[in-house]
Chains A and B, each alone.
Chain A
Amino acid sequence: MRRFQWTLTRRRALLGIAFISPWLLGFIFLFLIPLIQSVSFSFHKLTMIEGGYELTAVGWQNFKDALLVNPTFNRILTESVIDMIINVPLILFFSLFTATLLNQKFRGRTAARAIFFLPVILASSAITAAEASGLINLIGDANAINELGGAASSFNGDYIIMMLLDLGIPNVFVEYLMEAILRIYDIVSSSGVQIIIFLAALQSIPGSMYEVAKIEGATSYETFWKITFPMVSPLILTNVIYTIIDSFSNSTITRTIYTTAFQSLNFGLSAAMAWLYTLVIAIILIVIGVSVSRRVFYYD
């Protein structure tokens, strides 16, 4: 038998493992094992006892409860997903548009950039919740706020809706447009990181491409669609994924799962809900990932 030798390759491999070992430890003990436990919790009833917990197997009961018994889960899940599906294209469009604007040279660009990225550092679900609670105090109950918020954040949009409908634009588009206008603050405040990413992508496009286009007589519209858009398209996928992940942090579904666990103390049901949600997200991510990555243009 040949003696085991410490070749350079092997030593390098070991060193590599040493470098990632903190992460690997954390991954196994703070991700993998909890993940497996979470699967098992969703099939059990969990009761807290002193110094630990007890599991009783209940089969698919938790999932049945979440989908068929719980009065609000289905509705909240669909609402969250629909909300996300509406927001993602709006955020993408807005951030690409803004990034193109901020990439141009004009007076006061630095200040404008500084302001545009302000929402990145101020995005906090705790603050949003506190603001809402302040408003609730002010008005009385949450329902009133929704109405008030709608009224306060928008000018009277009825005329525009009428006008657009009279023009023969399909109802669906008009609704989407109005939705977009009413959501403007949400959209603006949640697209900071996406703007940064697009801006970075725009700056990595070689200037010579634009020079060639200009010499060949392309209009700026053509330049956008033939050069800018294909060159930033790989980042569209990144941004879609980022936006979807970001929407986890302050959606109603997240809060529902949290309160089910720590207020109703129904840990099994909460785990089942979390897994259903994860499943839905995974399906959306896969569908979007596959369909977008086929159309993406890679320069090199």
Chain B
Amino acid sequence: MELQKATARTKRAWLGNGGHRLRSKVQNALWSLFRYGIISGICFVIIYPIIRKIAVAIMDKQDIYNPTIFLIPQNFTLDNIRTAMKVLNYFPTLGNTLVFVTITMLFTTLSCALAGYGFARFHFPGKNILFGLAILTILIPANTLMVPMYLHFRSFDFLGIIHLLTGKEGMNLINTYWPTTISALTANGLKAGLFIYIFRQFFRGLPKEIEESALIDGAGGFKTFFRIMLPNAVPPLITVLLFSFVWQYNDSFYTSLYMSEMNLMPTMVASIAANANTVIQSMLPGGYDPNVKIDPNYIAMIVDTGILLVIVPLLVLYLFVQRYFVESVERSGIVG
């Protein structure tokens, strides 16, 4: 009797336990199924526009009105890409843009690293207020400053020095690289406050002993910074380099404000539809004719191809650096 009870108890316990294990197994499987569903769904939402653009780029004109075509065209051609390259003036524009963006990126990183280090490791009167002001620069919308900045760079005259020396009214720096370069050099460029914050957070987390030993070994402040602190700050450096590159490449606000007449990607993209129209008209068999109406769907096709061409450099870059993109943010100490 006792034995039977005992076995029944064990049996129940065993079965119950097994049931529990089974249930949790099913739960896990369902959860991972659900997770895959959601993740692939969102991935599709993100990737679909790019896939569609690629499809459009290699699609022939005559396929536009074929309703049976979805993504994979029947007639392949590279004409769209060629036309779009012509519209964007692609390689010169890309070269200009890359030079401009790289210069800005390097200067921004350098000046923000200096400022971040200064805020992280030194005590001087008004430090906290100044850092608060640096954060404030992120929070003020760029629109508020745009008119004075524009006027400032239209007749650029630092403290009246140029007026003093030459008697002229100041230089017009609009449509040169200078406005952005100056902003970058003085850590006031695009989202620079954020970069200063990233550097400050990281440098605060480094042990003080490093600098002390450098000081004892006779290194001055700047030598310590360039020889010891900066090589140790790889994660925030990568983060800031990447983000300032990408944001500068994509920025259309400052580019259209300061450099609207220069051949840069953002300004070219902004006027791509109108340019496409003119270029296609000039490619007509009978020569340029502004009165011929171009099929708007064809123009839309060229615009899409053009956009693809603009984002291709970023995509290629991303293929190589995406690993650092995530890892460096995780280690750069934004999180505190």
Footprint of B on A, CB under 8 Å? 9, 12-20, 22-27, 29-31, 33-35, 37-38, 41, 46, 51-53, 98, 101, 104, 106, 110, 112-127, 129-131, 133-138, 184-185, 188-189, 196-197, 199-201, 203-204, 234-235, 238, 241, 245, 248-249, 254, 257-258, 261-262, 267, 270-271, 274-275, 277-278, 281-282, 285
CA distance in complex: A261, B158 (Å): 24
**What are 14 A-B interface contacts by the 8 Å CB criterion?**
A9-B123, A22-B114, A23-B192, A30-B182, A34-B149, A101-B38, A101-B39, A118-B47, A122-B314, A124-B266, A126-B269, A127-B310, A248-B141, A262-B257
**Residue numbers in A under 8 Å from B252 (CB-CB):** 124-126, 129
- Contact A22 B221, beta carbon cutoff 8 Å: no
The 8 Å CB contact of B46, one of A17, A23, A188, A238, is A188
CA distance in complex: A19, B299 (Å): 52
Flag whether B292 is at the interface (Cβ < 8 A).
no
CA distance in complex: A188, B39 (Å): 12
Flag whether B334 is at the interface (Cβ < 8 A).
yes
**Residue numbers in A under 8 Å from B144 (CB-CB):** 35, 38, 271, 274-275, 277-278
- Contact A114 B322, beta carbon cutoff 8 Å: yes
- Contact A27 B151, beta carbon cutoff 8 Å: no
User: Do A185 and B45 form a contact, CB below 8 Å, given A135-B300, A258-B146?
Assistant: yes
User: Do A254 and B114 form a contact, CB below 8 Å, given A16-B123, A22-B187, A134-B304?
Assistant: no
> B267: nearest residue on chain A (CB-CB)?
A126
- Contact B335 A235, beta carbon cutoff 8 Å: yes
Footprint of A on B, CB under 8 Å? 32, 35-36, 38-39, 42-43, 45-47, 111-112, 114-115, 117-119, 121-125, 127, 130, 133-134, 137-152, 155, 158, 169-170, 182-183, 185-188, 192, 196, 221, 225, 246, 249-253, 257, 265-267, 269-270, 272-273, 296-297, 299-300, 303-304, 306-307, 310-311, 314-315, 317-318, 322-323, 325-326, 329-330, 334-336
**Residue numbers in A under 8 Å from B188 (CB-CB):** 23, 26-27, 30-31
The 8 closest A-B pairs by CB, nearest first: A16-B122, A26-B186, A19-B118, A134-B303, A124-B250, A126-B252, A34-B148, A20-B118
Determine the main DSSP class of A at the interface with B: helix
- Contact B151 A25, beta carbon cutoff 8 Å: no
User: Do A119 and B46 form a contact, CB below 8 Å, given A20-B118, A23-B186, A130-B269?
Assistant: yes
* Closest CB in chain B relative to A29 CB, distance in Å: 7
**Residue numbers in B under 8 Å from A262 (CB-CB):** 257
Count of chain A to chain B residue pairs whose CB atoms are closer than 8 Å in the complex: 262
**Residue numbers in A under 8 Å from B272 (CB-CB):** 130, 133-134
Determine the main DSSP class of B at the interface with A: helix
- Contact A134 B155, beta carbon cutoff 8 Å: no
* Closest CB in chain A relative to B303 CB, distance in Å: 4
> A17: nearest residue on chain B (CB-CB)?
B124
- Contact A118 B318, beta carbon cutoff 8 Å: yes
- Contact B43 A112, beta carbon cutoff 8 Å: yes
**Residue numbers in B under 8 Å from A26 (CB-CB):** 111, 182-183, 185-188
User: Do A126 and B147 form a contact, CB below 8 Å, given A19-B114, A189-B46?
Assistant: no
- Contact B314 A51, beta carbon cutoff 8 Å: no
Additional pairs, 4, CB under 8 Å, beyond known A134-B300, A270-B143, A275-B144: A12-B122, A23-B192, A189-B46, A258-B146
- Contact B273 A20, beta carbon cutoff 8 Å: no
CA distance in complex: A117, B170 (Å): 44
**Residue numbers in B under 8 Å from A29 (CB-CB):** 158, 186
**Residue numbers in B under 8 Å from A15 (CB-CB):** 122, 221
**Residue numbers in B under 8 Å from A129 (CB-CB):** 252, 269-270
The 8 Å CB contact of A137, one of B146, B169, B303, B310, is B303
A33, A53, A119, A249 interface centre (most CB from chain B within 10 Å): A249
